[in-house]
Amino acid sequence: MRQSHQLPLLGLLLFSLIPRQLCEIFEVSKNNYTDLNPLINTMINSKYTKGIQAANVLLSLRLGGILNQCQEQQLVQQVNLTVYYKASTLTSGQLALAILALGACKTPDETSIRYPNLVKNLRNKFKAEIKNMGKHNGNPLTNYYQLSLDVLALCLFRGKFSITQVAKIFEPGNKNFYFQGQFSVDTGAMAVLALTCVKNITNGKKKTDVENLNNINNHIKSLIEKILSQKKENGLLGNIYSTGEAMQALFVSSDYYNESKWDCQQTLDTVIMEIHKGAFRIPTAAAQILPALMGKTYLNVNKDSPCVYGPGDFNISTVEPITVTPPLSPSQIQVNYSVVIIEETHSTTVSVANGSVFLDVMEAAQKENATLFGFTVEERSWGPYITSVQGLTANNNNRTFWELLNNGQPLDQGVGSYIVHEGDNLEVRWSTY
């Protein structure tokens, strides 16, 4: 294997990381910025905008130049505290995201962010991911979405990594791009962003690594084709939650697909419609869609470029919205709930308050019978995540997880966000991916 390269990064070079765009520059017009207010208010006011979750929000709002200095300082403090006091517990992708957020731009009073130390720590975590792949049949400690974040942050912040290794592990046929046999659009999109960064910096080297560059170009082309193959009739790319990052990938890869393959306006119209339907109630979901709607990508991160503060085009509320339950709705609903482990099924029917989420149903069942329905949960950037049921714990090395379903169909929302309805047949199933 070739020795790792130290990849140079110059401030002005970042401008070359954004290739010509087919939808140039495709974004919500300032006249329609009110359509984005629900996203922004969700990110700023949610109780989940804290800890590492704040990194997603800070990155997104900094790219959009939306925050005022006071709001930004609060978010930076949240991310800093998490990075410096919980560094050992952060996954590689979480640390990479924090680095991108803290370095998205330069504040006038920025003195405490020690990028070299953070990047060195990230490099070590990335190496641990690769080492785990060698020991466990190609499975990283986390997943390829996080590995892509790692490479992107290392690329943008002068971290050391092997270009040969990157070209090898991000081969599009790799099983880690697939989830239960289905291509993962957001994973592929993040890989495109990372590979595009590596490609452009490799192009800028005096002695270009032709073989690796050709491989990376082929990988990007193949991943873009796979992303576009998942385009729905309404313009969404994968699902509503993967569309934002897929748009970013398409923005920076215009040379790899024909203009007729993607109707930018249709995608934008559908996303705006979903915003008004309340699809982005979780800060992370809102944060991942916003940059693309403002014509930005994660390749716009530039720690040497001054931050832009609130232009006044947005109506940002600092008061938490009041949720009003419709007066005609029944106060309690009945929901069927099952735990399925291979061929063994345990079922029950529970009553929960109208407007409850999947997690409320699981908690009600656990109170009824902790042996059959006991579970553990941890807080992640997308909210609560089920780690075990009946003591059976999900394991990345074995590619196992607890799948959420309703009426036999997998859910694209998490356990803390999916709102249940009367008569739902909910299920947590021990599954592999």
What's the pLDDT tens digit per position in 375-432? 999 877 787 899 999 999 999 888 899 999 999 999 988 898 899 999 999 999 999 9
Q: Residue 203: what pLDDT?
A: 80
pLDDT at 249 over 50: yes
> Same fold for the domain at 17-300 and the one at 332-432?
no
Cα separation, 23 vs 36, whole angstroms: 19
Total Cβ atoms within 10 A of residue 267 = 24
Cα–Cα distance measured from residue 189 to residue 264, given in angstroms and rounded to the nearest whole number? 16
Which residues neighbour 238 within 8 Å (Cβ) at sequence distance 6 or greater? 184, 185, 186, 227, 230, 246
Q: For 30, which DSSP code?
A: G
Return d(Cα 44, Cα 46) in angstroms, integer: 6
Q: Is the pLDDT of residue 17 over 90?
A: no
Q: What is the pTM of this model?
A: 0.82
For the chain, the structural domain boundaries read 17-300, 332-432
Task: Give the pLDDT score at 232.
Answer: 97
Contact 265, 22 (CB under 8 A): no
Residue type, 330: P
Rounded to an integer, the average pLDDT of 245-262 is 95
**Fold annotation for 17-300:** Glycosyltransferase (1.50.10)
Q: 383-391: which pairs have CB atoms within 8 A and are 24 or more residues apart?
A: 383/48, 383/282, 383/284, 383/414, 383/415, 383/416, 383/417, 384/359, 384/414, 384/415, 384/416, 385/414, 385/415, 386/362, 386/415, 386/428, 389/339, 389/341, 389/428, 389/430, 390/339, 390/341
Q: What is the pLDDT of residue 312?
A: 55
Sheet containing strand 383-389, strands side by side: 375-380, 383-389, 392-393
Q: How many helices (H) and strands (E) does the chain have?
A: 14, 12
Q: Is the pLDDT of residue 323 over 80?
A: no
Residue 87: what pLDDT?
85
Give the pLDDT confidence score for residue 70 in this predicted structure.
87
pLDDT at 15 over 90: no
Architecture of domain 332-432: Beta Complex (2.170)
